[in-house]
Structure 1
Amino acid sequence: MLQVKCSDNDLYRVNPVFTFLEPYETLKFDVVRREGQPKVDKLVFVSASADKDAKKPEDLFVVEPVGRAAVLPLLKTESFDHLAMKNITQNENTAINVGSS
């Protein structure tokens, strides 16, 4: 299972926040940033094991799980108007792999 945490929930929206994920499975996330001042933020992807009969991953993260974490730094450097005019396809295929131990 996987949980995505963000350093600034007022600026960023992530979907899904909680999900079940098999080892080495690929999953796409939507990350949206609201307009705001440039600053450094981060997304933290926390993984943990779950029983096969688990139904809701958010219930399993009520107690801080022991698992692996991957940190993705985020930095806004330009306004969204400028980004819309640039070719940003190289960023559309960014993937983060969180393997099992």
Structure 2
Amino acid sequence: MALSIEPAIAMVPASGGISSHLFMNLGEQRLVFKVKATNNDNYRVKPVYGFVETQYSTVFEITRIDGPPKDDKFVVHFAAASPEEIDPVNAFNSTAPLGEVNLPVSAVETVVM
């Protein structure tokens, strides 16, 4: 069971911006995930919970809100999910995570010329 993130690193302007990524299920079982952030003041993520079907990918979006430049990370916990599950929050909370993937994020100062 494996979850991969592409691109594996996010770079966003500290003044605000969006970074899109793919969660890819490389395994043979449906996965449910939950995203946790080290900095909830400057970031919003969509979705926080979700499913990734076997051998498919799901779009994940990070929105940076204006703030000081800083390095942060998102931790994506994942677990197996049955095909009958329709609510990712219930599916994730009713099982134990089987793994996690880290997504480093750098908010950088933009240079204006």
Q: Which has the higher strand share?
A: 2
Report what 1:7 is aligned to: 38
| C-alpha distance in structure 2 between counterparts of 1:21 and 1:37, whole Å | 33
Q: Which runs of 4+ in 1 moved over 4 A?
A: none
**What TM-score does the superposition give when structure 1 sets the normalisation length?**
0.69
Aligned to 2:73: 42
- Counterparts of 1:64 and 1:75 in 2: how far apart (Å)? 31
> 6, 29, 49: which one pairs with 2:60?
29
Q: Do residues 76 (structure 1) and 107 (structure 2) align?
A: yes
What runs of 5+ residues in structure 1 fail to find an aligned partner? 86-101
Alpha-carbon spacing, 1:8–1:63, altered in 2? closer, same or farther (3 Å)? farther
Query: Is the helix fraction higher in 1 or 2?
Result: 1
Given residue 76 of structure 2, which amino acid in structure 1 is its aligned partner?
F
Deviations, residues 21-68 of structure 1 (Å, cap 9, x unaligned): 113311111110101111111011111011222121112333672211
Q: How far, CA to CA, are the matches of 1:69 and 1:42 in structure 2?
A: 12
- Percent identity of equivalent pairs: 33
Letter in 2 for 1:68: G
- Which secondary structure state, in structure 1, belongs to the residue aligned with residue 52 of structure 2? coil
TM-score, normalised via structure 2 length: 0.62
Letter in 2 for 1:4: V
What is the RMSD computed on CA atoms of the aligned residues?
2.2
**Which of 91, 98, 101 lines up with 1:67 in the alignment?**
98
Could you tell me how far apart the structure 2 residues matched to 1:34 and 1:69 are?
25
